[in-house]
Structure 1
């Protein structure tokens, strides 16, 4: 596998860090979760549970090993330093200064292992006036200006149903940063510090909105952005049976096909009409869509290329033929639970694909085995 013989020490908890290290583990990295002996990763204790740990923990921590160390004790710190000497990567998600107070910051660790790649995932990064502020996904979206754009015109901002900052702004950039640093190490033999700010990551996602402001100082209000309420061709409509149809007919050929399918050819010239006209268009299309059920509309659009799709529930998504064909939901065997279902990796490699090889570890499951392998006597 691409990351075989790459050892990652993962000190992170909850979502962003574990998602990052999961991506690495899925492609062969040996990921060692360094957990506190008493509490472990907080995500273990969430509900609902499978066996002893939460479903979230099972999903994020497959292919990993759990080793318990008390990093606040002198023995635990000494053991950690010995492990670091034989590692390639350290990932942590504490607030800036925590690792330094433990005596285990990057400067200390690189003296032990100059080739170490050290990645810190934080809300605001290692520098700036907010560096030491606490925060969660909603806070990073707010500071980035993204939350202000989400929702309907004249309504309140709408919180997204998935954690954009944690995963898109934190986990994925962290995984990429680690891989880039490992590639550079192949040339120089030296590791480096990877500073990931979830706020930075979210700002970098604003490619369809922020450049307009930066170049022309134009501000778009909530519900007026082209791809967030400003175009009738890019919207969600309710059907007769209370279901929803999403329309993404942005290009003229798709818009024309859509207009002909709903029998309103007079709408065709209005694809890029002014905003107020778009609102009128949206209202009229909604009136038309509400005349038929979702099933009836899907039948009408089944052979028409207009970028029209149903809004699916989880139950429908997991049974969708495209999702099944891509293997995005996998059934894996668990030693105590039997068969369980997991979300697969979205990264498809033709030669060295990712794989779910083992279930999430119990707290401290690999401590004794790993310490023996490292040549460290148990204290």
Structure 2
């Protein structure tokens, strides 16, 4: 094993998406990630379609490069295993509702007494405090409460379900990894770990970025289609004659000039700089008319030759085949364990020293239970006893 995070050993108690995506990033960068999974309460990601050779494609991707220990945390003997693991696994990631780990005897205060270097990361919908801390939620709810949904979508039809998990990934996963690695750096200075409370709603709120800054400092409330970047200007999607779409982001005058010249709208370019809504509407209407005169392939070929910030809206299949994404090697082949491989999304980070090759797709439940217990010094007889007692699977 090598990679920038090869010195990190992580216990991952999370399921579904936010925690597993975070630990996927860490594992791809060389960290040793051990999933602690319930043998009685399956991670629903394991059964999420579509399936490839009987295995959920999502689970195979999100849990690649990780080992799986099936351990019933409700049984006292399980605590013995966790305590032993904590001697060299000094980072813990969990995604239960507040209080669950404490009730299991696995809260931060209890575990840092075993290992003061422990970095303990909790990812939840609403955080460990506040009136919503025990409330259920999903990505769409976090985006709604964080104010993001109020200024996305169309004015006449409302917010759109995005088809991707913004709060889960940009909120929980990425903020969780940033905070975890910051705690690792702090530990290098102090020798001590710490607790990190990651609220997906809090993190989603920060994604308001420019709109939020404008509101808090100037009182300017963002709304749908009333800003430059949310449909309130020409910066938008335009339909071709054959029903496909292209994106137009020609914000700078040089790019707008190329766009308008290519479509025979030279006199319209100056409207792009106008803050007046009527001018933006006039420009958008003109662009809409011209785009709808041409088929998608024709427009794609036209703008491929120009540096105008106009790009086609591609399907996933088209994106995989696009020369830019192919050059960046965004797809990797991951061993299944039977001599074959599965195509998966590659780690997006490019290190000059390289990263470890993907080792395996997401493991079967408890695939590494015996291996992990042997490493901890458990005898074959003791492992068999734990299996008989259904402590492990």
Q: TM-score range by the shorter chain?
A: over 0.9
Distance 2:115 2:285 in 1: 63
Alignment of 1:105-144 (within 5 A): 105-144=107-146
Q: Deviations over 1:136-158 (max 9, x none)?
A: 10010001110111111222211
The offset of 1:350, in angstroms, is 1.0
Pick aligned residue for 1:229 from 228, 231, 236: 231
Secondary structure at the counterpart of residue 286 of structure 1 = helix
Distance 1:16 1:88 in 2: 20
For the pair 1:86 / 2:88, whether they are aligned, the reply is yes
Alignment of 1:60-209 (within 5 A): 60-209=62-211
Q: 1:337–1:151: structure 2 CA closer, same or farther, 3 Å change rule?
A: farther
Secondary structure at the counterpart of residue 183 of structure 1 = helix
Secondary structure at the counterpart of residue 227 of structure 1 = coil
Check whether the contact 2:96–2:124 (CA below 8 A) recurs between aligned residues. Answer: yes
For the pair 1:269 / 2:270, whether they are aligned, the reply is yes
More divergent stretch after superposition (89-98 vs 336-345): 336-345
The offset of 1:303, in angstroms, is 2.3
Q: Deviations over 1:315-360 (max 9, x none)?
A: 1011111111111111223224823100011111112435422221
Give the structure-1-normalised TM-score. 0.97
Distance 2:258 2:365 in 1: 56
Alignment of 1:364-379 (within 5 A): 364-376=366-378, 377-378=382-383, 379=386
Secondary structure at the counterpart of residue 231 of structure 2 = helix
Distance 1:276 1:104 in 2: 60
Check whether the contact 1:166–1:198 (CA below 8 A) recurs between aligned residues. Answer: yes
The offset of 1:76, in angstroms, is 1.0
**1:21 alignment partner in structure 2:** 23
Give the aligned CA root-mean-square deviation in angstroms. Answer: 1.3
Q: 1:78–1:137: structure 2 CA closer, same or farther, 3 Å change rule?
A: same
Distance 1:42 1:220 in 2: 37
Q: 1:197–1:162: structure 2 CA closer, same or farther, 3 Å change rule?
A: same
Q: Deviations over 1:253-286 (max 9, x none)?
A: 1111111111111111101321132123212211
**1:210 alignment partner in structure 2:** 212
Secondary structure at the counterpart of residue 118 of structure 1 = strand
Q: Deviations over 1:101-155 (max 9, x none)?
A: 1111000000011001000000111111211111110010001110111111222
The offset of 1:86, in angstroms, is 2.2
Check whether the contact 2:334–2:344 (CA below 8 A) recurs between aligned residues. Answer: yes
Unaligned runs of 5+ in 2: 387-393
Secondary structure at the counterpart of residue 112 of structure 1 = coil
**2:32 alignment partner in structure 1:** 30
Check whether the contact 2:337–2:360 (CA below 8 A) recurs between aligned residues. Answer: no
Check whether the contact 1:51–1:336 (CA below 8 A) recurs between aligned residues. Answer: no
Unaligned runs of 5+ in 1: none
Secondary structure at the counterpart of residue 156 of structure 1 = coil
Pick aligned residue for 1:334 from 317, 322, 336: 336
Check whether the contact 2:335–2:359 (CA below 8 A) recurs between aligned residues. Answer: no
Secondary structure at the counterpart of residue 230 of structure 2 = helix
Pick aligned residue for 2:359 from 357, 360, 365: 357
Give the structure-2-normalised TM-score. 0.93
Q: Deviations over 1:151-207 (max 9, x none)?
A: 112222111110000000010011111111111111111100011110111111111
**2:247 alignment partner in structure 1:** 246
Secondary structure at the counterpart of residue 119 of structure 1 = strand
More divergent stretch after superposition (269-278 vs 9-18): 269-278
Secondary structure at the counterpart of residue 271 of structure 1 = helix
